[in-house]
Amino acid sequence: MPPSDLQTGSATVRETFLLVLASIPEGRVTSYGRLAQLAGMGRGARLAGRWLGQLPEGTTLPWHRVLNSQGQLSLPPDHPAGQEQYQRLLAEGIIITHRRVDMKRYGWPD
DNA sequence: CAGTCGGCGTCAC
DNA sequence: CGTGACGCCGACT
């Protein structure tokens, strides 16, 4: 880890972000805002989205389990990643209605 | 370094 | 369910 990270602590927040993301249970989802909150990014929902979009293609992290606060898929239906997300969620047994999931049921943490 | 633009958002009305 | 306003940050000029 670069010395600059030890000074700014930026790596810590980023690592926490990845850690939280990785800890989202299969079959459950969370929102950008919550994820940011849990990772100590405060109101960095959009930043969370940015980081998710910058993850490597072959990542094993469950980026697809992150939706907007209304439980809707925020990615364009016609976009490759959007379909990928849709497919993965379905594969985990999550019921999707009108591109939206029931946060009361699948939301994490409870 | 300062100004500006835009984003996988969120909340209130 | 649509609209507008707000807020935070990275990227670019």
pLDDT tens digits, one per residue of A41-61:
999 999 999 999 999 988 999
Torsion-angle region of A107 (φ positive above 0: left; ψ -120 to 50: alpha; else: beta): beta
Structural tokens at position A30: 């969370």
Residue A86, CB, strand B, below 7 Å: no
Q: Is the pLDDT of residue A14 over 70?
A: yes
**Confidence class for position A107, pLDDT limits 50, 70, 90:** very high
Residue A71, CB, strand B, below 7 Å: no
**Confidence class for position A39, pLDDT limits 50, 70, 90:** very high
CA separation (Å) from A6 to A12, A14, A51, A77, A100? 8, 12, 20, 40, 40
Interface residues for strand C (CB within 7 Å) are A 10, 42-47, 50, 98
**Nearest 10 degrees: Cα torsion A30, A79, A93, A19:** -40
| Size (chain A), residues | 110
Q: Is the pLDDT of residue A77 over 70?
A: yes
User: What does the pLDDT read at residue A6?
Assistant: 44
Comparing every residue's Cα with the C1' atom of nucleotide B7, the nearest one is A46
A54 CA to C5 C1' in angstroms comes to 28
User: What does the pLDDT read at residue A11?
Assistant: 57
User: What does the pLDDT read at residue A106?
Assistant: 96
User: Hunting for tokens 């602590």 — which residue is that?
Assistant: A9
State the alpha helices, DSSP H only, in A1-110.
3-8, 10-22, 32-38, 45-53, 80-91, 103-106
A93 against A6, higher pLDDT: A93
Among the listed residues A83, A84, A70, A77, the one whose alpha carbon sits nearest the alpha carbon of residue A34:
A70
Residue A31, CB, strand B, below 7 Å: yes
Q: Is the pLDDT of residue A1 over 80?
A: no
User: What does the pLDDT read at residue A49?
Assistant: 96
CATH number of A3-56+66-106: 1.10.10.10
User: Hunting for tokens 């009361």 — which residue is that?
Assistant: A104
A79 CA to C13 C1' in angstroms comes to 30
